[in-house]
Chain A
Amino acid sequence: MEKVLLKGNEIIGEAAIRSGCKLFFGYPITPSTEVIEYLSANLPSQGGTVLQAEDEIGAINMCYGAACTGNRVLTASSSPGISLKQEGISYAAAVELPMVLVNVNRCGPGLGGLGPAQSDYFQSTKGGGHGDYRLIVLAPSKAQELYDYTMEAFDLADRYRNPVMVHTDGFLGQTMEPVVLKDRPEAPEVDQSWVVNGCKGREKRILASYSLTNEVGEENNLHWEKKYKEIEEKEQRWESFHTEDAEYLLVSFGTTGRICKSTVLNARKKGIKLGLIRPITLWPFPVKGIRPLVDQLKGIVTVELNTGQMIEDVKLAAECKVPIHLYRRQGGMLPTEDEILAYLEDIFQPDGSGEVHE
């Protein structure tokens, strides 16, 4: 298999092409712009279409239209642009359109800065737009995962007829790393009996989210809820790192999830029984990864690039049975592995009686 050195954002573009993505609609915004640039250079020659829209609102609604026809479609943006897309995302969730959204997070609120952040966690996992809907949210922590998860995002979107978000940040988007360009996995059998493509030989179809009858509205909500419950049951994903005997646990995703691996290894060198749960799906949140560990744990630290957002889901997952603290950096700053360990030692005073790993 081919191994290449590419920027994170370019890898997303390449993964989309190899996933059979036919259409990209977007609007430039740092630090996500290389996605539209890469696809502008490389998708048309593969028979696809790239359109630079008038704004993010236009772009997401173009995705909505294209997704109605059953073709694979992608958009990518960064935090303020994702805010503009929220209306369209809500409509896409209501009509149950498969599409992949990439948020290369920058720090905010407002125009904010370009450095890595996880400040859109709430927006991505709790709805973001109006109404009661969920996105499947995948959080890569390195280049290979940008590639793999983007590919998987298309399959998940098709399988559940639901928008899927790849939640990354400017650090991952801008870093060059080697990536193995794996072949597209066996695509799931996709039901396309709902798409709109002209009613030749069949009844006309309407894809819309309008329901003025309350009874119908509730039926719709129950239908979506059932789907979300199924996703929660089947699609929770996480990486466990040295959790088997862990007395203390870090929970961290994306860029900080990666940094936390070094923290765990450094702690083990000091005999501290530290482990890591790195959520891969931010929604559904990997409750199943955390809950079985609760009885063996003395404390949890979530490491985030925000004022503490994921920590709420960790507290729910642990049912508040363990002391849970937050270590965070903000505004585009990243923590070092030592900072995180120093914080953990300060808070929990671990005894270091474990086996010392060199």
Chain B
Amino acid sequence: MKKVFERTKGLSDAHFTFCPGCTHGTIMRLIAEVMEELNIIEDTIGVSPVGCAGFCQDFFTCDFVGAAHGRAQAVATGIKRSLPDKMVFTYQGDGDIAAIGTQHAIHSAARGERITSIMVNNAIYGMTGGQMAPTTLEGMKTTTSPFGRDPVSAGMPMDFPKIIANIPGAVYVASVSVDSPKNINKAKKAIKKAFQVQQAGLGFALVSILSTCPTNWGMSPVDSLDWLRENMLPIYELGVLKEIEEVKNL
């Protein structure tokens, strides 16, 4: 029989460990497909974070280094400075990159590190059981904001890619979502661009991806996608937030 479709070479045959309806798997597959299309699997070193995203080291077929919580940007910097000809990317949740690891991400961008950063924003801490994240929406209930995030004491959600977009060393910043086939296609294009930026040695690239957490949101997978569209899209504007001329010409 003629094979019409197969798993991307960027993913191993390990089974995803994610909860039903979680979109981590979708995002990982997009990255894996991009690595295959760019023919960089054997030249790439990924840096995994702590949290649900941390399992990614088992799923990709490239080399991987596991970082301490929040330190993926610094670890990636060390790898890239040691092996400047290799491709290096980080895969981080919103808590990892935008709370405990904020300083590393901001300064990676400021130095224009030639690395590709993937931020997965599901507005909550998944692995530890649904605590408030820097991206948790106003009024959103989590186990550490049981009455809803109160801006008076907990502040407003951080739109992290917009912060990064203001930094000169960041040359490509995109905000995408994986809630629909159309948005998934856009997300893949953004991820591909972020890797191409690194191949061209242009500077720091970040793709922020809106994602679901049905388990900790307490919703079905389908309802989660609706909730993301209704609640997250108005807060986290999608689109290319920053793209310097050289990146546009890639």
Contact = CB atoms under 8 A, between A and B. Distances in A.
Interface of A: 22-23, 25, 49, 51, 53-55, 57-59, 61-69, 71, 73, 87-88, 91, 95, 196-201, 204-210
A65 B66 contact: no
A91 B57 contact: no
A59 B106 CA distance: 14
A61 B45 contact: no
B104 A199 contact: no
A66 B68 contact: no
A65 B79 contact: yes
Interface of B: 12, 41-45, 47-48, 54, 57-58, 60-68, 71, 74-83, 86, 103-104, 106-107, 111
B73 to A, nearest CB: 8
Contact of B42 (A54, A67, A199, A210): A199
Contact of B78 (A65, A205, A209): A65
B82 A66 contact: yes
Nearest to A87: B68
Nearest to B75: A65
Contacts of A61: 67-68, 71, 74-75, 78, 104
B81 to A, nearest CB: 5
A206 B79 contact: no
B104 A65 contact: no
A59 B41 CA distance: 28
A54 B107 contact: yes
Contacts of A199: 41-42, 61-63
A64 B80 CA distance: 12
B65 A62 contact: no
Given A22-B82, A23-B78, A51-B77, 12 more contacts: A23-B81, A54-B106, A57-B103, A61-B75, A61-B78, A62-B74, A64-B75, A65-B82, A71-B82, A196-B65, A197-B86, A207-B66
B42 A62 contact: no
B81 A51 contact: yes
A209 B66 contact: yes
A201 B75 CA distance: 24
A197 B66 contact: no
A68 B79 contact: yes
The 8 closest A-B pairs by CB, nearest first: A208-B66, A65-B78, A61-B74, A62-B78, A54-B107, A65-B75, A66-B78, A61-B71
A197 B78 CA distance: 12
A21 to B, nearest CB: 12
A25 B83 contact: no
A267 B225 CA distance: 82
A59 to B, nearest CB: 8
The CB with the most chain A CB atoms within 10 A, among B67, B83, B106, is that of: B83
